[in-house]
Structure 1
């Protein structure tokens, strides 16, 4: 029987919530766009020195705007597009395929009662968040 993707997402949300995982997804494209726009405006207003000043100011502003925006991992997981959820699902199913369960509550209880499974699923989450989303991960409330 195939495992529903929603059940896997709920399980990963529960595991990440139990660990108090938060992540800050870096929006480097937004920061770069801001730096470029302020450099352009600086160039229009002040010539070559304006480009330097505008680029420096925009870079600092962009870095400030995109840093430290931590969100709970369950929120990030539920906001993922279906293609990204499928990637995470594929990695997770390899770990939980052998378990015998009837509903998501029983699956969650099985996983939360097994430290080894929790560790493996946490590893999948950390790997996905850091490599695919280039997120910075933080633990605790």
Structure 2
């Protein structure tokens, strides 16, 4: 009996969310540049006090800019194309092939109840997200 792809992907997304896996959307460099620029401008305008104020304002601004962390589950459910979802499912099935599931419909409940399989699946998800989607996992 074939398993519904969306059901399988939602289960993997739930597993990733339970582990609080997040990705960063490459905003750290911009945040550092903003913080440094604000500190520099503050120092030019107000001297030592301006450095402190500029650094504080720059830090808060950088924080607001870099709060672009998303959960891996959200990325899996909402950003993957159908082809990428099929490839992710194929990667996961290949990563746990040693258990020899006779039916892919049995695979998801088995993964959800076996910690060692969860680790294998999560490693596969991390590899897929970092190599194929070029995101950085933030844990």
> Scaled by the length of structure 2, what TM-score is found?
0.59
1:85 maps onto 2:85 in alignment: yes
Structure 2 unaligned blocks of 5 or more: 31-61
5 Å-filtered alignment, 1:31-50, equals none
How many positions carry a matched residue from both structures?
102
User: Structure 2 vs 1, CA of residues 124 and 13 (structure 1 numbering), >3 Å: closer, same or farther?
Assistant: same
Aligned-residue offset at 1:78: 1.0
Match of 2:73 in 1: 74
Match of 1:124 in 2: 124
Aligned-residue offset at 1:100: 6.3
User: Structure 2 vs 1, CA of residues 66 and 8 (structure 1 numbering), >3 Å: closer, same or farther?
Assistant: farther
Contact 2:96/2:120 (<8 A) preserved: no
Aligned-residue offset at 1:67: 5.3
Q: Secondary structure at 1:130's aligned position in 2? A: helix
Q: Partners of 2:92 and 2:103 in 1: how far apart?
A: 15
1:114 maps onto 2:110 in alignment: no
Contact 1:8/1:92 (<8 A) preserved: no
Deviation readout 1:76-122 (Å, 9 max, x if unpaired): 0111111211211111122456346796xx75543232121011100
User: Structure 2 vs 1, CA of residues 99 and 10 (structure 1 numbering), >3 Å: closer, same or farther?
Assistant: farther
User: Structure 2 vs 1, CA of residues 129 and 68 (structure 1 numbering), >3 Å: closer, same or farther?
Assistant: farther
Contact 2:96/2:121 (<8 A) preserved: no
For the aligned residue pairs, the C-alpha RMSD in angstroms reads 2.8
